[in-house]
A and B are shown apart, each in its own frame.
Chain A
Amino acid sequence: MTELDHRVRGVDHAAFPTFDPAGTVRFYRDVLGFPVVHSICAAGWGPEDHPDFIHFFFDIGNDDRIAFFYYFGIEPFNQSGRGDSYAAFGPDVPEYFIRSRHLAIHVDSQEDLLEYRRRLDNSQWPVEMQIQHETIESIYTHDPNGYMVELTRAMRPVTPQEDLDANLTIDALLDVVDAPEPTFAKLLARKAELIVARAAQWEAAQAQESNA
């Protein structure tokens, strides 16, 4: 449990390298409609071997931004076929692992999700998957740099019991990975113990809240 007060205000920006600035601008600005909100033209910056670069930002809503670095005069480092502008992966790396790294951008409704689906499907980066997860629905594509981008909407609000469950999961996970050979079965067994240990406390807190 943490007693640290929560002072952060979302994502200022997440930054990635690009070797295709034109495609990147077409994808984020012209297809998705994310405004360009900031750019830095940096010449002669850093150590001598540091190329001149452009650092540019798109508004992804909520005053959050996604940003890219374009470095002049360098060729892509990763040409192996799998991966993205940042990293390449060999044949031994499973696809699920490569896809685990992604940026998910929030929308408020299914109508909004389908609007972005329409914009992407009309572009050269059509939606690759549309999936209803447990409580969210998402569309996915890869941007011109090979980064996986998800747009997602909540199908219902998150409930207090889900927050409790998430904390139980993480506490159980920390216990299980602290011991040798962590497995999913061990996690479920540890969670069962924590459920029994903490249920009464949770019920009391809920009762107090509904009386307040």
Chain B
Amino acid sequence: MTTLYVLDVPENTPLAKVASEDHAVTVGKIGPYFEISADAAIVIDRRATGCRHAVWYSSVAGVADGRITQHDKDALRVEPA
């Protein structure tokens, strides 16, 4: 299970919402963080989130059992390690 952690602040909530639209992805909470988990890759489309670049590029708080293979103006992709 690959898990992406994103701090729950107003700028980041669209990111969690877009992630949750993928049925293979589970979005929960742990402490003040969104806990975004999946067995396969987690892919989030930047434009769908509407995040400004500064928010987008600093939104990842932690990654467990996975690695970021894409984090550019188009998408964030976290794949199983």
**A→B interface (CB under 8 Å):** 131-135, 156, 159-162, 164-165, 168-169, 185, 188-196, 198-200, 202-203
Contacts and interface: CB of A to CB of B under 8 A. Distances in A.
A191 B5 contact: yes
Interface of B: 3, 5, 7-11, 30-33, 52, 54-55, 58, 60-64, 67-68
A192 B68 contact: no
A188 B63 contact: yes
Contacts, number: 70
13 contacts: A132-B54, A133-B54, A134-B58, A156-B10, A164-B31, A165-B61, A185-B63, A185-B68, A188-B60, A191-B5, A191-B62, A195-B30, A199-B33
Given A132-B52, A133-B54, A192 B63 contact: yes
Counting chain A CB atoms within 10 Å of each CB, the highest count among B33, B52, B63, B67 belongs to B33
B63 A195 contact: no
Contacts of B52: 132
